[in-house]
Amino acid sequence: MKRMVGHHLRSCVGFFAFCVASLSAGAEDYLYERPPARLALVVGVETYKFIPSLPSVKADRLEIAKKLEALDFKVTVAPDIQSMNQFEEDILPAFRRTISEGDIVLFYFSGHGFSYGASNYIAPANLKPPVHYLNLSNSAAALENIQDYLGKRQPGVLIMMLDACRTIANFVITGPNNENLVGKGTGDTPARTNGVNTLVGFAAKPGTAALARSQPGRMSPFTEGLTMRLPSPATEFGVVFKDVSEDVLTATGAVQQPGLMDWSTANLYLQPTDALVAQQKLAWQAALSTGKFSEILRFSRRNAASPFAAAARQWLRDHAELADSQQASFVSPAAIERLWGPKSQQFDIAWVSSGLGFEQRYVELPNASLSEANFGFVNAGYDKRTAARADVYNQLAAYVAHGSAVTTTDLVATINPSSTAALTRGIPAGSRLIAQSVERRTDGSAWLAATLPGSDERLYVMAQSNPVINIHPGESLLEILAPPSRDGFNDLLDARPLQDALTRLVSEKRTISWVSIATAKTSNAKDAGARQARATHALYVLRKNGIDERRITTLVSASDMSGENIRIRFFGR
């Protein structure tokens, strides 16, 4: 019988800010800072040939350009675009050629606009209503098409700001017999699928008008709010836009309300302070120290506007072979959580080294019904009489109950569960499998039926028969809840409760044998990303204080949790 034991926590647990980062070999090459370029195209049409002119557009155009230049944007100004041909063949292509991967790109328009169906259109100076339905694309520019066109250059963040109406108004779409046609749909911009962090700010709700001012030299309420609020230091753009919306509601007597469509996981700060950049650097160090493709990919998306995004993208290019690699754990993160309390003294976990393991960061499945048999629980002081509960078949059944497994060594898959079956492919160590079922053959062999992510091809993997390992996570020592950072950067946790806990355990001369990190479930993708980033920060703190990463598991979307806090449980003696 083998028994895994704990190890002593090293005593150097000074305040986190003074600890030296523990980074993987070669990681120092990716600690450079390179702020993304900022590019803006400002379009304002003041004078129209066939519809009323808008005297306030000139002030909108000039003042927003000044504000963006003050925020280090390289601004291209396009006043009074005369036709769709000029816009599509000259202005827009010239601007797009300046965009590189990872840039922060902003498109701003002030002038007449309208909605039709699910699209929002901006009007050039020569637009003559009513517009025939067959000539719509030649008469006005769909904001969604501009978004897709610019997004193909893969900017880090794409911001679209539309200070224009979203009504049909007198831009009536006429049909073959001159009858009026109105598109079905709400007029909201449909989500795009190019993977670019995209924010679309509208001056007005769908179907309503955006107000301009009749006095030359005065900005429209929406642009006035933008220019007043954009300089907000260390404030995330979504918060800034809510302030703009409130300003416009007040200025127009609740007639007009702006809205922000957010198809982005990025934290966007247009005026970061030195303190904020330091927090972004800490988040980058935490992600980089894991050496995991998924963690660094998450950082690159969530911090696409930070000075460290370029380094993250470079790491991903340099380590493309790790894209499908996962880290395995001897035990289920859900099993460790289930042991909390009196059970931690009553049970050990028996694990068979079958060539497979559990995901070290496991997302708890909705309505999952996991039993003690699925966790490999055996009575403390496990002996051969309980071996039946730890055989290979039960081990594979546990992976099926969890929905997944990770290969811990290179394996070979066959087309059916037989040692004489034709080989399908080799599966390298670190591959994630979608576990579906288990088959036991008459020769005593056990086979896992599984698929690879993104594939419907069923594969069979024969489990290797190896000695049983007895894992004793230890007694339940201490549980803490770590809230998000007090400084407002949600990708970091407030490390002080965790540091205090580590200091306390050292002073009590405790031995830590396992640590479980857990996050609560949320349906909001951006919030889920922030919680996982904070869990990564917790892992970083633990590793820096001498905890073996192999003895740290993470349960994502824990069913017994709620809220933004990260729960950390210590096991040992």
- pLDDT tens-place string over residues 25-40: 578 899 999 999 999 9
pLDDT for residue 45 is more than 60? yes
Bridge partners for 262 per DSSP: 199
In the predicted model, what is the mean pLDDT of residues 108-116? 93
Distances (CA, A) of 428 to 74, 128, 174, 303, 323: 47, 63, 60, 31, 12
- Asked whether 20 and 180 are in contact (CB, 8 A), the reply is no
In the predicted model, what is the mean pLDDT of residues 220-226? 97
pLDDT of residue 14: 32
pLDDT for residue 13 is more than 60? no
Task: List, as one string, the DSSP characters of 302-317.
Answer: HTTTSTTHHHHHHHHH
pLDDT for residue 503 is more than 80? yes
pLDDT for residue 386 is more than 70? no
- Beta strands 104-110 and 361-363 are unpaired
Most trustworthy range by pLDDT among 232-236, 349-353, 418-422: 232-236
| Confidence tier at 343 by pLDDT (50, 70, 90) | confident
Q: What is the dihedral of CA 327, 331, 335, 336, to 10 degrees?
A: -80
Instruction: Read off the amino acid at residue 342.
Output: P
| Confidence tier at 179 by pLDDT (50, 70, 90) | low
Task: Report d(CA 249, CA 256) in Å as an integer.
Answer: 6
| Confidence tier at 265 by pLDDT (50, 70, 90) | very high
Largest CA distance in the chain: 91
In the predicted model, what is the mean pLDDT of residues 206-215? 90
The candidate with the shortest Cα–Cα distance to 13, out of 568, 546, 494, 483, is 546
In the predicted model, what is the mean pLDDT of residues 190-197? 68
Q: Domains in the chain, please, with CATH?
A: 1-33+274-325+474-573 (no CATH), 38-263 (3.40.50.1460), 354-359+369-468 (2.30.30)
